[in-house]
Homo-oligomer: A and B are copies of this chain.
Amino acid sequence: DVIIVTNKTTDTKEDYHNYLSSNGFNISLENIISSTEVIREYIIENFPSNKFFAIGEDKFIKSLDNHIVSYSDKPDEIDIVIVTLDRTLNFQKIEIAAKALERGAKFFAANIDDTCPVDNGEITDAGTVIPALEKRTGRKLEQHFGKPSQFMIDKILSRMKFPRNNYLLVGDRMQTDITMGKIMGVKTCLVKSGVKNKFTEYEFKPDFEVDSVYDLLSKTL
């Protein structure tokens, strides 16, 4: 039983499903969990008829914008500010978010990763923008919905068919993946081919470490 959990909000679940399928991984759409859907469900359930602004990309905004909650870029009418990965970030977006936060809008993040791994390194992610907005406004982030949040953990638990000691959490980021495994009480495996982790920041260690996903598969099979 494999559950895929992602903090990446720049593609839809369907995109990730297609990508996995085309690489030979037959995982049901239901067993792919993204922070987009976790925050989407939370906001629709808890803040109906609210308006949100997002430092986030079009696909993320479109996933949330519907007849229950809707997108706005007018600080005077924004109830919720959401921060996530946004390669179209600019000064104007920071100012809209800051002015809404100064007026008292809720301060949420879809995920808290500092960076997002890409082919030639890492790029700026939500975790970089959050302290900027905190410094700019004097506000503090109130909630986030990706790994390792309780919202995400509850979603994962709802998908697990077996007791949790049957699962191994595999991830490349100490701050989100391995931390979540520790909170959930499942065994964890750190893959070292992804993001650069500053290990000294964490007092705990993953149960296993491998150099790459390939190594993990060759050891398991």
Residues on A close to B: CB < 8 A?
A: 86-91, 94-95, 98-99, 102, 114-115, 121, 123-124, 127-136, 138, 198
Copy number in this complex?
2
Residue among A86, A138, A198 with the highest chain B CB neighbour number at 10 A? A138
Which residues of the partner chain B approach A98 to less than 8 Å between Cβ atoms? 124
Report whether B124 and A136 are in contact in the complex, using a CB–CB cutoff of 8 Å: yes
Report whether B136 and A128 are in contact in the complex, using a CB–CB cutoff of 8 Å: yes
Give the shortest distance, in Å, between A8 (CB) and chain B (any CB): 16
Which residues of the partner chain B approach A198 to less than 8 Å between Cβ atoms? 138
A98 to B127, CA, bound (A): 14
Which residues of the partner chain B approach A129 to less than 8 Å between Cβ atoms? 132
Give the shortest distance, in Å, between A175 (CB) and chain B (any CB): 11
Q: CB within 8 A of A89: which of B91, B115, B127?
A: B91
